[in-house]
Structure 1
Amino acid sequence: MGLAAVLGAAGWLTLAAAQRASLLSPPTLRTTGVHWLMGPLSGLLPHLSTDHVRLHADYTTALVVMFVGWLVAWAAASALPLAVVAAAVGLAQVVMVLGPRSR
């Protein structure tokens, strides 16, 4: 359950960063005209708020969810098979690699 929360929050953060210039991605990625830098996930979260206060609150919520998920996974670490942990870590890396690139 904890690993799923971490992966879900990481996925949301990656999608939000790839959507458009916001506090999650530098504005130079959109203003340069080089749209491929936003990654293959660009445009998959079209209803993302443009309000900076809301984005900051959503970002903070995602980080809290990731932290609580990490705590749950850490508490249950002895019961988790190594293959499950390795798969979750690998999937998290793939999700982050698909996000926006920096120049």
Structure 2
Amino acid sequence: MRDLTKIAERAAHHGPMPTLPPDPHRLPPPGDWFASDAAHHLLDRPRFCPMCAASLDGGLVSEWWSGADRVFLTWCRTCRWTGNVVQFTQAVIEEPEH
């Protein structure tokens, strides 16, 4: 097994980048404390950019929480858009009189 500490030290000191694991979205084993959250993240994360509709596979999607809200910090590699995508269960929208 590779010594990941030495690989991380080289990367932190501008050495060669470590090889990524074959599956960057590997889920933790069922029953681990974070397993259900990781599974929900993969199921619920945005897959397309809200600005240009490009796939976010080459971008960044990082989830954080604000109270009961799940917020996905999103960066699109194609159009360079950065913003938060908030998941919600209900939206109330008022339309002004015409």
| TM category, shorter | under 0.3
User: Taking structure 1 as the reference length, what is the TM-score of the superposition?
Assistant: 0.21
Instruction: Compare the two structures and name the one with the higher strand fraction.
Output: 2
Which fold has the larger relative contact order, with Cα–Cα distance below 8 Å and residues 6 or more apart in sequence?
1
Instruction: Compare the two structures and name the one with the higher helix fraction.
Output: 1
Larger radius of gyration: 2
User: Taking structure 2 as the reference length, what is the TM-score of the superposition?
Assistant: 0.22
